[in-house]
């Protein structure tokens, strides 16, 4: 009888461990994948070099990229571009009605976007107030998301597991997806 008790306790623990392991879907949710693919593809379109994408099991992600800057770069243009890239993840999510409810949870880095807009206003007051700059960059981010939707979808489909993709991985995925879409 004691052996039976031990066996059932053991079975219970195995079942519990299996339940924990399988309670998390093996693939990251498409909302998260589209969001990060949005940053990557829009950054790529603006000539930024991909440095990597991280998808974490708590369903947060990160896309890093770098622009090869020169001394004579226009700081206002660069900040505008980087703000559009930052806004693009959120903008992509809004392109899919089924993800709108979860969209606010993955809004972009609004604080740094506001700081950028304030700096752009200081550099170039003719562009308008910080709010007006935010509005115009948001319009451009929405356009970038819409205009690149097929490529963003294709890239998101390849981000099929939690973990890290190197810059080379991301660039290869974008290149392969572009080729497939051209055919």
- List alpha helices for the chain, DSSP H: 2-23, 30-45, 75-94, 100-103, 110-123, 130-147, 149-158, 167-182
**Residues 147-174, mean pLDDT to the nearest whole number:** 97
pLDDT of 45 > 70? The answer is yes
**Confidence grade of residue 86 (pLDDT, cut at 50, 70, 90):** very high
**Residues 36-64, mean pLDDT to the nearest whole number:** 94
Residues 107-112: contacts with CB under 8 Å, at least 24 apart: 112/86
Are 164 and 52 contacting, i.e. CB atoms less than 8 angstroms apart? yes
46: which DSSP letter? Answer: T
pLDDT tens profile 2-35: 778 777 777 777 777 776 665 666 789 999 999 9
C-alpha to C-alpha distance for 170 and 44, rounded to whole angstroms:
10
**Residues 159-173, mean pLDDT to the nearest whole number:** 96
C-alpha to C-alpha distance for 94 and 138, rounded to whole angstroms:
12
Listed range (57-71, 99-113, 161-175) with the worst mean pLDDT: 99-113
Are 23 and 158 contacting, i.e. CB atoms less than 8 angstroms apart? no
**Confidence grade of residue 116 (pLDDT, cut at 50, 70, 90):** very high
The predicted structure's pLDDT at residue 12: 74
pLDDT of 103 > 60? The answer is no
């Amino acid at each position: 009888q004691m052996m039976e008790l031990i066996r059932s306790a053991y079975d219970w623990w195995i079942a519990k461990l299996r339940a924990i392991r399988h309670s998390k879907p093996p693939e990251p949710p498409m909302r998260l994948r589209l969001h990060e693919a949005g940053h990557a593809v829009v950054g790529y379109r603006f000539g930024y070099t991909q440095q990597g994408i991280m998808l974490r099991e708590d369903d947060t992600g990160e896309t890093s990229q770098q622009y090869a800057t020169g001394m004579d770069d226009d700081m206002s243009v660069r900040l505008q571009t980087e703000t559009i890239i930052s806004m693009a993840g959120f903008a992509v999510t809004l392109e899919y009605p089924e993800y709108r409810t979860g969209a606010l949870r993955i809004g972009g880095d609004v604080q740094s976007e506001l700081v950028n807009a304030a700096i752009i206003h200081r550099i170039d007051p003719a562009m308008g107030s910080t709010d007006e700059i935010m509005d115009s960059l948001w319009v451009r981010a929405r356009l970038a998301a819409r205009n690149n939707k097929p490529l963003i979808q294709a890239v998101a489909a390849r981000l099929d597991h939690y973990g890290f993709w190197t810059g080379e991985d991301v660039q290869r995925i974008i290149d392969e997806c572009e080729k497939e879409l051209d055919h």
